[in-house]
Structure 1
Amino acid sequence: MSFEQCQSITSLMAGFNKTWGIAGGWAIDHFIGKETREHKDIEIAVFRKNQLYLKDYLKEWEFKKVIKGEFHSWENEFLELPVHEIHASNKLNGAKIEILLNETKDNDWKFRRDLRISYPLTSVWSYSETGIPYLNPEIVLLYKVKNTREKDHQDFMTIKDYLDIEKKQWLRYAIELHEPKHKWLQYLFNLLC
C-alpha cells in the first residue's frame, strides 16, 4: 500500500459532506509527510453521529459491524457503543476500508474507552500537503495504548519527536488517566523535561 491508496480514499470521499479522516498508522505517516512502515489496510475515522450518512453515501458497499471480534451484517440500525468498528467492501470492485466510529459531545471529541478524556473538535483533524484529511497523531497514539503491538510502538517512536509541546502534554495527560503504567509515559516525561 502507498499514499496513492489514501488518495483514492480521498477521491472516494470527495462528495461526503461530513467530517472524516485517515486513521491508524497512515495518519502518523501523513503527519510526518512520508511512509515510515508497511501498512496492510486503510482505516478512516468518522464521527458516530454521521455513520448513517456514510452508509447512505457508499451505496455500492457492503458493511459488516464488529461485535466482540466477530463480523455481523450491519443493516440500517444506528450503532451505539461498544460497537465502533465497521468493515466495508465495494461490491463492484472489491475495494475494502475499515471505518472507526469516534465519539463527540457538544464541541469535543471524546475517547470512547474513557469518556473523561476529550479534545476540542477543532484540534482532532489535520490535512496533508496533498489535502488528505487525517486524525491527529496524539489521538491515534492514544488508541494504540491498549494492547500496544510492535507496529504501534514503532509508530510512537517514529512520531514522538515530531509532536509539539501541546500534543505531547495532552497525550501524556490522557495516557496517565487511561493507562497510568504504560511504557510511553517515561518517553513523554523525558521529552517534556
Structure 2
Amino acid sequence: MNWEWEPASLSEVAGLFSRVRVPWWIAGGYAIELAVGRAFREHADVDVLLLRRDQRAIQEALPSWEWWAADPPGTLRPWARGEVLGDHIDDVWCRPSASAPWRIQLMLDNADGGAWVSRRNPAVRREIASLGRISAEGVPYLAPEVQLFAKAHATRPKDEEDFEAALPVLDAAQRRWLAEALEATYGPHPWLGRL
C-alpha cells in the first residue's frame, strides 16, 4: 500500500466538489487557516467534511478516483461503488489512481434532520446551516469553533497551534459554544480556562 500524501490544493478541492449538491466543508487545519485568514503551518493532508447521509456524493464528485474506507480506523479497504458505509467508518482516503499519492481525506459526520450531530457526543448538535462559513474565494469551510471541538479530543502539537491561532478570531458566541461543547463532552479541558 502506498501511504504517500500529496494533498490537493483548496482550489482543486473546490473545483472537484463544485458539482456536489449537498453541503460540504473544508475541515482540519485548513479550516482553521481559512478562519484566521492566513497560512501558519504545514499540512500533511486536506480534509473535507460531508454528512454521513450524503456519502455517495464523494463517489459522484470523484467518479474516476479510488476511494478507500478506514475500516476500522487504521486499516484501509476499497470502498465499492454504491456501498453505504456504516456508522463505524468516519474517514475515506481518495486518490486519482492506484499509483498516485493520496490527495483528499473525507470525513463523515452524522445528522438528524437539519442538525449536525457530533460523533464524540450526540448531545452536541448544531444547525447544519450554521456549521460552516464561506471564504473570500468562495470555499466552504467548517466553523472554527466546531473544528476546534473536533481537535480537542486528543490534542497534538498541531491542534494546540490551531487553537492558539484561532482564539483571537473567535467572537463571544463562538467561544461560548466551544466552551459548552467541551464541558459537556470532556468535563474539565485545558482549553476551557482560555475561552
Same fold (TM over 0.5): yes
Between 1:25-34 and 1:74-83, the stretch displaced more is 74-83
Aligned residues: 187
Aligned counterparts of 1:92 and 1:14: Cα–Cα separation in 2:
24
Q: Check if 1:180 corresponds to 2:187.
A: yes
Does structure 2 retain, via aligned residues, the 8 Å contact 1:42–1:97?
Answer: yes
Indicate the SS of the match to 2:194.
helix
User: Partner residue of 2:118?
Assistant: 111
Counterpart of 1:88 (choices 91, 94, 97) is 94
User: Partner residue of 2:85?
Assistant: 79
User: Partner residue of 1:154?
Assistant: 161
Counterpart of 2:12 (choices 8, 31, 35) is 8
Letter in 1 for 2:74: G
Q: Check if 1:47 corresponds to 2:54.
A: no
Indicate the SS of the match to 2:29.
helix
Q: What percentage of residue pairs aligned between the two structures are identical?
A: 28
Does structure 1 retain, via aligned residues, the 8 Å contact 2:16–2:61?
Answer: no
Q: Which runs of 5+ in 1 are unaligned?
A: 189-193
User: Partner residue of 2:139?
Assistant: 132
User: Partner residue of 2:23?
Assistant: 19
Does structure 2 retain, via aligned residues, the 8 Å contact 1:47–1:102?
Answer: yes
CA RMSD of aligned residues (A): 1.9
User: Partner residue of 1:38?
Assistant: 42
Aligned counterparts of 2:194 and 2:109: Cα–Cα separation in 1:
27
Q: Which runs of 5+ in 2 are unaligned?
A: none
User: Which aligned segments of 4 or more residues in structure 1 are displaced greater than 4 angstroms?
Assistant: none
